[in-house]
Amino acid sequence: MALTLTPEVEAALFDLADALGKPAATLAVELLREMVPQLHDLAKITRLAQQGKNAAAKRALRHMIGDGMAEILNEQLPLPGTAAKKRKA
């Protein structure tokens, strides 16, 4: 797969890659890999909307956003009895 990036996306990717000390291509793959669940969810939501199942699409979108927010909050403020995922340095 060949990708053509806009100048803004390319600049941001190279800036972050430089800050992290990683090649930009490696960083791009890592970012996409982390997005796999969201990409699948967005495909499902898009198909539901295309089929005219707008209520189901909205529910799926709320569920996706809610799961994402819960993960973020758990990283920042772990609830008792839950273990926040430890990130590799």
Tell me the CA distances in angstroms from 48 to 12, 59, 66, 72, one per residue in order. Answer: 33, 10, 18, 26
Select from 38, 33, 46, 87 the least CA-distant residue to 66: 38
In a domain, 18, yes or no: no
In a domain, 25, yes or no: no
Mind listing the pLDDT tens digit of every residue in the chain (89 residues)?
899 999 999 999 999 999 999 999 999 999 999 889 889 999 999 999 999 999 999 999 998 888 878 877 777 776 666 555 555 54
Give me the domain span that covers residue 69.
35-77
Select from 45, 81, 48 the least CA-distant residue to 64: 45
In a domain, 53, yes or no: yes
What's the number of domains the chain is made of? 1
Residue type, position 80, single letter:
P
Judge contact between 57 and 49, C-beta under 8 A: yes
In a domain, 82, yes or no: no
In a domain, 84, yes or no: no
In a domain, 71, yes or no: yes
pTM of the model: 0.66
In a domain, 39, yes or no: yes
